[in-house]
Structure 1
Amino acid sequence: MLANGNVKMTNYRWVVCSMLFFATTINYLDRQVLSLTWKDHIVPEFHWNNTDYGNITSIFSLVYAVSMLFAGRFVDWLGTKKGFLWAIFIWSIGACLHALCGIATSGWITGDWFVSFAGAKESLKQVSDTVLVTTTSVMFFIFARIVLAIGEAGNFPAAIKATAEYFPKKDRGFATSIFNAGATIGAMAAPATIPYIAKYWGGWEITFIIIGALGFIWMGLWIFIFKKPEEHPKVNKEELSYIQQDDIGYTEHSVQTKRMPFLQAFKYKQTWAFAVGKFMTDGVWWFFLFWMPAYLSSVYKLSGTESAIYLTVLYAITLLSIIGGWLPTFFVEKRGMNPYSGRMRAMLIFAFIPLLALLAQPLGYYSVWVPVIIVGIAGAAHQAWSANIFSTVGDMFPKSAVATVTGIGGMAGGIGSYLINKGSGVLFDYAEKTQMKFFGFEGIESGYFIIFSICSIAYLIGWVIMKSLVPHYKVITDI
C-alpha cells in the first residue's frame, strides 16, 4: 500500500514474460544441436554432404511451416497454458529422438537394434556401403526433425498469445523483444556449450539428450506459474486494469472470446501482410542459424570448438535487437503515432541494416571477424524486425485470433525457410564441385556470396509489400 492510499501495481506479467524467454531459449538450443555437431561428429559417422544436411534442415522448415498453420489454431482452441505444455513436450521428445538415430541406422542395416551408442558406431564402421549408411541415417534424422518441428511450431503462437493476454498494445513490442531475445540467447549459448559437450562429455548423442531434457524442466515450472491474468492471484486489480487498458471502452470487447473461423483469417489484408513479411525474412535468420557453423568450417576451416568463440560473439551481437522493442514505443509515446505506424517506421529502419551482409564475403578476406560481426548486426536487425512484425498481429486482431494469424504467418515463414535451406545445400555442393565463379568468388565461397546477397535485400522487399497491403492502421472488428 502506498502512502497516499493507492495500491501499488504488481508486475507479474514480467514473470510470465521471463517464462516465454526461457521457452524460446530452449527452443533455439534444441534446433541448434544438429548444426553444431554435423560437420565434426556426424559427417565422419554417416558421410553426409551439404545436400544431405540441406535436405534435413529444409524438411524441418517445411514441416515447421505446415505445423505453424495448425499450431496457432490449436493454441487458440486449447488455451495458452495447455497449448504451450503440449508444444514443448512434443519438441523435447523430438530433440531427444535425435540421439537414437545412430542406433536406428545400425539396427536398420545390421538387424541388431539392441546396441549402445558406441556399439552402433562400431557396427557402422564395418558397413562398406556408405551410400546406404548415408541415406538410412538421413531418413531417421528427418523423422526426429519432423517431431521436433511439430512441437517447436507451437512456441511462437503460444508466446504471442500469452503476450497479448498479459500486456497492453503499447508494451507488446517491448515484451516480445524480451522473450524473442531468447532466440539470441539460445543461439549464443549453443556454440558456447554444445561443441564441448559433444567433444568431451560423451558424444553428439548425449548432447541431444541433455539439451532436450531442459524442456521437461520448463514444463514443471509452467504448470504452476501460468494462469490467465484475470484468474491469477498474483495479479492485483491495478495490474489487471493496466493489462486490459485497451479493452476499456472498446465496443468489440464482447467478441474477444469468439474464435475466428480459420478460412476467414485469409480474407484480411492484414493477415497477408504479416504472412508476406514472414515469408521474406524468416529464412534469413534460419540460414544464419543453420549454416553459419558450416560457413566457418567450409570457408575458414574451423572446427566446432575453434568456431565457438566466433559464433558466441556473433549471436551476442544480436542482443542489440532489444532496441527493436523500445523504438516503436518511442514513436508512439514521443511522436504520437498509432502502434502500427510506429512499428512500420521502426521496421523500415531495421530493413536497411541487413544490406551490410553484401559486404560479408568481400571483406571476409581481411579477417574472419568481419563476416562474424556483420552477420551479428544483420541478425540483430532481424530479431528487432521479428519482434515488431509479431506485434502487428496483436495490434490489429482480437486476442482470440492472435495465435491463429500468427500460425498462418509462421507457415509462410517456414516455407521461405524451406526454400533457402534446400537451395543453400544444393547450391553449395554445386559451387564446390564445379568451382563455380561469381562476382570474383570461386567454389563454395561464390555460393555463400549469393545467399548473403539474397538475405541482404529480403527485408526491404518484405516491408514494401507489407506497406502496400496495409498502408494504414486498421483494427479488425467484424469477427
Structure 2
Amino acid sequence: MKVKKLRWWVICLVSLGTILNALARSSLSVAAPTIFTNLHINEQQYSWILSAFQFTYTIAQPICGFIIDVIGLKLGFFIMIIAWSLTNMAHASCSSWGGLAFFRGLMGLSEAAAIPAGVKCNSEWFPAKERGIAGGIANIGTSIGAMLAPPLVVWAIMAYNWEMAFVITGALGLVFAVIWWFCYDTPQKHKAITPEELHLIEAGQEKHLAADHAKPSIGKLLCQRNFWGIALPRFLADPAWGTINFWLPVYLMTVRHMPLRDIAMFAWLPFLAADFGGMAGGFLNNFMMKRWRITTVNARRIGFSLGAILMLPLAFVGFVKSPYLAIGLVSICGFAHQMLSTQVITMATDLFKRNETSTVSGFAGTAGWSGIFICTLIMGSLVNTIGYNPFFMFLSIMDIIGAIILWTMVKEHKTPGVSRTELATVK
C-alpha cells in the first residue's frame, strides 16, 4: 500500500527513536535524588558518573556516524537501539556509583547514534527547503524524551523502586527496535513511497551533494573549514543543554529545596519549551527561504543567531527568588537552545554529501559533547564551593560567540544544486 507524504511519517519514526534515546539518557538525572540517598552518592561522584557517559558518548558519535554511513541507516541504527536499551536496563543491577559509571559509559557508546541517524534520514528523505522543519521534528525527540522522563521515572520510583525506572525505559527501546526494523528503509527501496514523492525528494535535493558511494574520508572532512564552522558553535552551545539535562533536578533539590513531587511536576517544562523551539527554528527557515528568498545556509545562521540572543536569560536563573520563575527562565533557554541547535545540526545536510552527513554530524557531536564533558567535570569540582550562578552566567553568552563563528567560518557552495527559485517552488 502506498502512503502519501511518507517522508513525514519516516522522520516521525526517527523522532520516536530519539525520544526513547533521550528518555533512557535522562532517567539517571531524574532518579539522581533518590539514588543519592539509597547508594550514598555525592555531587562529586555523580559528576564522575555523568562524565563516564559523556566521555564515551563524545568519542562514539563519529564512530556511530561512520558506521551508519557505511552499512546504512536501517541496520546501523537497529544495532545501536538494542545496545543502548539492554545497557540501560543493566543499570538496575548496580549497588554503587562505580557500577553506575561503568554501565553509563557503556551506554554512551551506542546512544551516540541518535543524532547522526536523524541527520542521515533528513538528508536522504527531504528536499532542501524542508530539511529545517524535518530537522526540528527529528531533534525534538531529545527534548520530548527529557520531558517525559520526570513523570515516568518518578512514577516508577514511587510505584516500585529506582531500579524499575531503568528497566521500563530500556524495555521501551527494545520494542521500538522491532518497529524500526520493519518500518524503515531508504526512499529508493521503501515499498510504501509513491513515485510522485520520490521525484519530489530527488528533484529538491542539491545535485552537488549527491552520494558518490565512497566511504567518507575522515581526514578530508576534518580539514574543511565548513566542518569547524559547525563544530565549534556546537562545542560552545551544548554545555548549556547538558547542564539543563543533567543538573537541573539536582539544582532544584539541593539549591531550591524542591520536593521530588514538585520536581516531577515542573522539571519537564524546559523540555516542553525546547520542543517548540526546535519546531520554530524549522518553520522560520522555511518562511525566510520561501518569502524572502534567503539562501538555505543564511536562513540557518539567522535562526541560530536569534536563538543565541534568547539564551541570555540563563544568566539570571540564580538571582530570582522564586524557584518557579527560575524554571520559567530555564524554559526560555530550553526553547532557545533547541532552536539554535536544530539549525547547526541540520547544516551538515546543507554543506556535505549525503554519504558523509552522519560522519560529519558525529564529529560535530563530538565537539559539542566535549564541551559538555569539560563543563560537567568543572561543575562537579566547583559547584559546592562557588555555586551554580557563575556557570549560568558563563553559559548564557557562549552561543553569541558561536553565532559569530557560524557567520565568519561557514561558506556556501558556489555551485548550488538547487537554486533559490527552485527552493521556493518545490512543493
2:162 alignment counterpart: 204
Establish whether residue 26 from structure 1 lines up as the match of residue 29 from structure 2: no
Q: Alpha carbons of 1:301 and 1:252: their partners in 2 closer, same or farther (altered >3 Å)?
A: closer
Mapped contact 2:238–2:368 kept (Cα < 8 A): yes
1:239 alignment counterpart: 197
Q: Which amino acid aligns with 2:45?
A: D
Structure 1 residue 252: Cα displacement: 6.3
Mapped contact 1:51–1:429 kept (Cα < 8 A): no
1:100 alignment counterpart: 93
How well do the aligned residues superpose, as a CA RMSD in angstroms? Answer: 1.7
Mapped contact 1:23–1:155 kept (Cα < 8 A): yes
Partners in 1 of 2:352 and 2:120 — Cα distance?
11
Alignment of 1:153-192 (within 5 A): 153-192=112-151
For residue 399 of structure 2, the aligned residue among 459, 471, 478 is 459
Q: Alpha carbons of 1:292 and 1:235: their partners in 2 closer, same or farther (altered >3 Å)?
A: same
Q: Among the aligned pairs, what percent are the same residue?
A: 28
Establish whether residue 139 from structure 1 lines up as the match of residue 132 from structure 2: no
Partners in 2 of 1:454 and 1:74 — Cα distance?
36
2:217 alignment counterpart: 261
Partners in 1 of 2:251 and 2:128 — Cα distance?
40
Q: SS of the residue aligned with 1:227?
A: coil
Structure 1 residue 429: Cα displacement: 2.4
Aligned length: 415
> Structure 1 stretch 44-53 or stretch 213-222: which is displaced more?
44-53
Partners in 2 of 1:455 and 1:89 — Cα distance?
34
1:414 alignment counterpart: 369
Mapped contact 1:347–1:385 kept (Cα < 8 A): yes
Partners in 2 of 1:224 and 1:179 — Cα distance?
19
Establish whether residue 50 from structure 1 lines up as the match of residue 43 from structure 2: yes
1:343 alignment counterpart: 300
For residue 62 of structure 1, the aligned residue among 37, 55, 58 is 55
Q: Which amino acid aligns with 2:264?
A: A
Mapped contact 1:341–1:473 kept (Cα < 8 A): no
Q: Which amino acid aligns with 1:93?
A: L
Structure 1 residue 177: Cα displacement: 0.5
Q: Which runs of 5+ in 1 are unaligned?
A: 1-7, 103-136, 432-446
Q: Compute the TM-score of the two structures, normalised by the length of structure 1.
A: 0.84
Q: Compute the TM-score of the two structures, normalised by the length of structure 2.
A: 0.94
Q: Which amino acid aligns with 1:311?
A: A
Mapped contact 1:80–1:161 kept (Cα < 8 A): yes
Deviation per CA, 1:385-423: give whole Å up to 9, x if none. Answer: 111111111001110000010010011111101011111
Q: Which runs of 5+ in 2 are unaligned?
A: 418-427
Structure 1 residue 303: Cα displacement: 2.5
Mapped contact 1:93–1:147 kept (Cα < 8 A): no
Partners in 2 of 1:328 and 1:343 — Cα distance?
6
Partners in 1 of 2:73 and 2:5 — Cα distance?
19
Mapped contact 2:3–2:192 kept (Cα < 8 A): no
Q: Alpha carbons of 1:261 and 1:204: their partners in 2 closer, same or farther (altered >3 Å)?
A: same
Name which one, 1 or 2, has greater alpha-carbon Rg.
1
Partners in 2 of 1:159 and 1:181 — Cα distance?
10
Mapped contact 2:120–2:354 kept (Cα < 8 A): yes
Q: Alpha carbons of 1:9 and 1:377: their partners in 2 closer, same or farther (altered >3 Å)?
A: same
Q: Deviation above 6 Å: which 4+ runs of structure 1?
A: none
Deviation per CA, 1:169-208: give whole Å up to 9, x if none. Answer: 11111011012111121111111221121122x2111110
